[in-house]
Amino acid sequence: MNSIDTSKLKNSFLGEELDAPDLEALAGLMQAHKLADGEVLVDEGADDQRLFLLADGRLEVWSNRGDTPERVHVMKPGEFAGTRAFVDHAPRQATLKAHGDATVYSLAPGHFESLLESRPRLVYKIMRALFRITHVNLMRMNSEARELANYVFKRGGRY
């Protein structure tokens, strides 16, 4: 029995265009990971190209800044991590660590690529979703950079 809750997939960027058969096909390729508080899901620099969906709980995103690890984001349910590693087969850009108990769903590139012949329309929908996920992450980072610039340069009338 697969422990992937398709409603959590449906309510994410990845699943919003998918119908029930698509969701079932995708869920059948994913794995669920239960993490305890402080448990590391993946380390920065690791050769791990899985795409991660945070189903429940929180995940801290840590990045090494010189010799010091720095928490750069706390993920909420429905957020994704690893789009770059998943698409480009690149090393991980950050460490993901549970902040409290968490459930994460993962999709390996090889499992995803197995859909190319049998479900090309599903592959297309997922690639569109990956683009949207990347766009949302970029907009969040731009907003954070703008907020930081406003603080540093005392612009925007809020400081």
Summarize pLDDT for 98-121 with one digit per residue, the tens: 999 999 999 999 999 999 999 999
The reply to whether the predicted model has a pTM over 0.85 is: no
Four-CA torsion 9, 63, 41, 73, nearest 10 degrees: -40
Summarize pLDDT for 16-57 with one digit per residue, the tens: 889 999 999 999 999 999 999 999 999 999 999 999 999 999
CA distance to 25, 40, 149, per residue, from 96 (Å): 26, 6, 27
